[in-house]
Amino acid sequence: MIHQIDTTDNIVAFRALAEVTKEDFLTAVVPAVEHLVKQTNEINFLLVLDTDIKNFTAGAWLQDALLGLKHLGKWNRAAIITDTDEIISFTNGFSFIVPGEFRGYKKVDFNKALNWVEGNIS
């Protein structure tokens, strides 16, 4: 399940809990990202992982990839918040292969991540 987190108007933020499915992406993530792109012409994205990455279904991964590819040139800043070092390292390396800046943060650094995605800190 993915819940949208209330934030400023220039970003979309989500918390992933338990099993994350294709339907979660289609009903929560995709519409919010599409709306943000129409409003700001870029994507500032934050995802808090309060579930194990293994709980993402194949359909969820596919929708995530399709969303990323559809708006490839629109990605500005994306933060993944987790306490899994491998996911943080993977996220940090993502900036080298796709447009935009991607950073991984520990859960204790939620506010720092949120401020970075909002553009309040570099």
How far, in Å, CA of 36 to CA of 43, rounded? Answer: 7
pLDDT, tens only, 4-57: 999 999 999 999 999 999 999 999 999 999 999 999 999 999 999 999 989 999
Confidence (pTM) = 0.92
Task: Identify the pLDDT of residue 50.
Answer: 96
Do 114 and 105 contact (CB within 8 A), yes or no? no
**Pick from 61-65, 74-78, 101-105: least confident:** 61-65
| Residue 44 phi, psi dihedral angles, 5° rounding | -115, 120
- Confidence at residue 65, expressed as pLDDT on a 0 to 100 scale: 81
- Position 69 scores a pLDDT of 79
Please tell me the predicted confidence (pLDDT) of residue 84: 93
Cβ 8 vs Cβ 51: under 8 Å: no
